[in-house]
Amino acid sequence: MIHESFFETDNKQRKIFFQKWLPEHDDTKGIITLVHGLGEHSGRYAHVAEFFTSQGLAIITVDTFGHGQTTGKRGHADSMEAYMEQISRLLELARQTVPNKPIFLYGHSMGGALVLSYLFRYNPKINGLIATAPAVRPGFEVPKLLLAIGKIARIIAPSFTQPNSLDVENLSHDREVIEKYKADPLVHNQASGVVGIGLIEWGEWLLENARQAPVPVLMMHGTQDKLTSYEASKQLASQLTGDVTFKSYEGLYHEIHNEFQKQSVFNDMLAWIKKHL
């Protein structure tokens, strides 16, 4: 595969990091725009890109505000709408990278909640959406003190961050994945009230407002996910009408793309994408 990375400077002079992976042969069937999860970054999806590029699909992704190589305070964004703007730009770049080809929007965890929010708020022209372990609701009880501090800080000190309470031991059954995550200098555990409380509120908005899916949707979730709620994903999928598929993975943890059974997950994604090309 061909890998390229680049920065763009936005109107606030922040450098935003993008990267893309392209099939080596000029027979690209479509492109996947990928949005990563809370505290991580796009570089953790190189193996996902390797699989899809081998199947003739390009991938383009961004380090969202507060993450990875994009400049700015870790764990913080000016607003939740700022993430929507990043997704809009990602889709623009996808159209430029692979013109006149199908586009699929794919998000994991926080990214899953963001792409679902984008779909139901903006109704983009895409061919389908994939959300894995979307953060519709947390899969654990967030400490009340953290919630209270987050709500107050969002008003009086928006960029103040605190630990996000995610237990990294529950990412995957694969010990190597967890050790790499812990050793990754671009990974962090911080979230501001703008991001943390915003994510919870936007997840509730989805459950209250998302009904008719404007494009085909694939939602995938491990039944033993302790970081984001499997039941909330299932509830959201069940209330959606249209071409909606919900895929459960018995016993898997949060990062289904990093479990020992990841090849099965990739194959399921690919089969669904081929159906909607």
Q: Provide the annotated active-site residues.
A: 109, 225, 254
The strands making up 128-132's β-sheet, listed across from edge to edge, are 2-9, 15-22, 57-62, 30-35, 103-108, 128-132, 217-222, 244-249
Radius of gyration for the alpha carbons in the chain, expressed in angstroms and rounded: 17
Angle of the 193-209 helix axis to the 230-239 helix axis, nearest 10: 40
In order of 26, 27, 114, 178, 226, the CA distances from 210 in angstroms are 38, 36, 13, 34, 24
Q: What is the crossing angle of helices 193-209 and 110-122, to 10°?
A: 50
Place of tokens 């501001």: 192
Quick check: 118 and 105 in contact, CB under 8 A? yes
In degrees rounded to 5, what are phi and psi of residue 84?
-65, -40
Pairing of strands 217-222, 244-249: parallel
